[in-house]
Amino acid sequence: MTLPRNSPDRVLEVEHLNISFLGRKSRTTAVRDVSFDVGAGEIVGMAGESGSGKSLTALAVMGLLPTPPAVIDGRIRFAGTDLLRLSQPERQRLRGSELGMVFQEPMSALDPVFTVGHQLTECLLAHRGMGKRAARKAAVEMLEAVGIPLPEQRFGEYPHQLSGGMRQRVVIAIALICRPRLLIADEPTTAVDVTIQAQILELLRDLTRQHGTAVLFITHDLGVVAELCDRMVTLYAGETVESGPVSDVLGAPRHPYTSRLLQAIPRIEARHAELKAIPGRVPPPDAPPPGCVFHPRCDFTTDDCRDHRPELLPVAGARTVRCVRTADLTLPGVAR
């Protein structure tokens, strides 16, 4: 359920977020009018194809987009504070302590010249003011908590000495070491096998249960969204096109794009059937189509879709949809 405005349980509120980039002669908008929220102890999934603006949105929340060339407007509230009004030193104090992020590729997120232990204790020394001995003890305990065997030994090892699954667990440990109120996980299971994926998802579930952490989980995998998340947001070409409780959105999608994503999932029972891929591709940010950005790939396009850009409007069941035809369409979904 969408939380009421100004609710103390709303950890993150993003309203009408726009992200543009200044070029030599033009300004390109990559994210337009994105709105969503994440509550304490809640996992919200953000889904969409590559190029939909998911990672850009996450980086804007974390304050990791250089401005310029990025131009960010709208509102990003964390625990009631507008992050866009804070100075860089103030944002830096929040990152790592109150805001944590798990990046998609662990070898890029970890510094190869420092040990695992150094990178873990750095957070505690900088944000919690711990002594070295206490920080080491806490780091070893966190490595054990994320399921890394022989944590004392791994503490002194370098990233290249670990397997891909263990490196991803170290990245998660670094993001969690200071017990942040908000964790952004940007496709944390992409680089690991199915067994490790299941363990990482269980770890995130435990995190929300034990500490009430708010989690924004970015993924391409709607199966993971169905298994892990409470609510979901679908992004397309830099816009929020649908949001709502996971069971409602997956069971009865109200936007054609969400429905087509679900139909494109391979199914065991349809072994010899043709895969229902979405024709075309996500439009580039510097050349969006007029009207609805999805209309060139949509099966239900009308002249109204080509001529008018729809607004994100509320519909029944704590859901929002950006489609002018949502009232007269019955779209296929999947059973959760």
* Tens digit of each residue's pLDDT (9 = 90 or more) over 6-22: 444 789 999 999 999 98
> Could you read off the pLDDT of 211-263 as tens digits, one per residue?
888 999 999 889 889 989 999 999 999 999 999 999 999 999 999 999 999 98
Which residue type, as a one-letter code, is found at position 336?
A: R
Which one is predicted more confidently, 96 or 319?
Answer: 319
**Is 215 within the bounds of a domain?**
yes
What span, in angstroms and rounded, lies between the C-alpha atoms of 247 and 233?
12
Residues 173, 204 contacting (CB under 8 angstroms): no
Per the structure, the complete domain to which residue 118 belongs is given by 99-177
Q: Would you place residue 24 in the very low, low, confident or very high pLDDT band (cuts 50, 70, 90)?
A: confident
Q: Are 242 and 253 in contact (CB under 8 A)?
A: yes
Closest C-alpha among 94, 245, 244 to residue 181: 94
SS3 letters across 54-92: HHHHHHHHHCCCCCCCEEEEEEEEECCEEHHHCCHHHHH
Same domain, 21 and 86: yes
Residues 171, 206 share a domain: no
Domain assignment of residue 28, yes or no: yes
Residues 18 and 119 in one domain: no
Is residue 4 included in any domain, yes or no? Answer: no
- Please check whether residues 118 and 208 belong to one and the same domain: no
CA distance 215 to 224: 14
Q: What's the number of domains the chain is made of?
A: 2
Question: 182 and 306 share a domain?
Answer: yes
Share of the chain above pLDDT 90, in %: 55
Q: Is residue 242 part of a domain?
A: yes
- The predicted model gives 85-89 an average pLDDT of 91
Is the per-residue pLDDT at 74 higher than 50? yes
User: What is residue 107's predicted lDDT score, i.e. its pLDDT?
Assistant: 77
CATH of the domain at 16: 3.40.50.300
So what's the pLDDT on residue 35? 92
Entry pTM: 0.89
Last residue of a domain, one of 143, 177, 211: 177
Look at residue 5 in the predicted model and tell me its pLDDT. Answer: 44
